[in-house]
Amino acid sequence: MKKYLFIFCMILLIPLLIIFIIHIQIIQTAKQTPPASIPYLIVLGAKVNGEEMSLSLRNRAQTALTYLNDHPDTKVIVTGGQGKGEKITEAEALQRFFIENKISMERILKEDRSTSTFENLKFTKDLYAIDEAVIVSNDFHLYRATSFAKKLGIQGYPLAAETPLVVKTTLYIREYAAVIKMMIFGS
């Protein structure tokens, strides 16, 4: 009986321990502050509803805008293709936001074919040959994003945007699974 209880406890405890370790890495990454005057800032795409940014994407855009206003020599790379229910690409929605907020077109670069975090960064690297960038995403997402950047040869400095409370639990659970997938399959 003790043997079965031990096995049962291990079956429960090991996944919980893995999730706890991933959660700590997510939190530690999100708490980091990027250095000043990095030449590029990458804003990772997220859901667009028709032509309107989701709250998650809006939070990313607002966080990026603050950095861009504080660092006028930094260029922004807007990323993200067009998914279901989106009338425009995620990159286009971000570009419109930055133009509306007085960021000049000369400072905005676009990657608009990607459909995943890995593609956001890979296609950006392929288009612009960058090796260093501040990466803006929601707090839950930055550990995986900076891990992908490192794999692609980009020194990525995380800049965390707040995750909307209404979707926080769902997105964290999804992210634990995505990090485990990344650890097993590499992308």
Residue type, 166: V
Over the chain, what is the mean pLDDT?
Answer: 94
DSSP character string of 14-76: HHHHHHHHHHHHHHHHHT--PPS--SEEEE----EEBTEEPHHHHHHHHHHHHHHHH-TT-EE
Q: How confident is the model at residue 1 (pLDDT cuts 50, 70, 90)?
A: low
Architecture of the domain spanning 33-185: 3-Layer(aba) Sandwich (3.40)
SS3 168: helix
Higher pLDDT, 2 or 33: 33
Calculate ∠ Cα 98-107-45, nearest 5°.
50
Q: What is the pTM of this model?
A: 0.93
- The mean per-residue pLDDT over the stretch 121-136 comes to 97
Higher pLDDT, 12 or 134: 134
Torsion of CA 163, 165, 166, 168, to 10 degrees: 60
- The mean per-residue pLDDT over the stretch 23-29 comes to 96
Lowest mean pLDDT among 20-24, 92-96, 134-138, 167-171: 167-171
- Helix, strand, coil tally for the chain in percent (to 5): 55, 20, 25
The whole-angstrom separation of Cα 56 and Cα 18 is 26
Quote the pLDDT of residue 2. Answer: 75
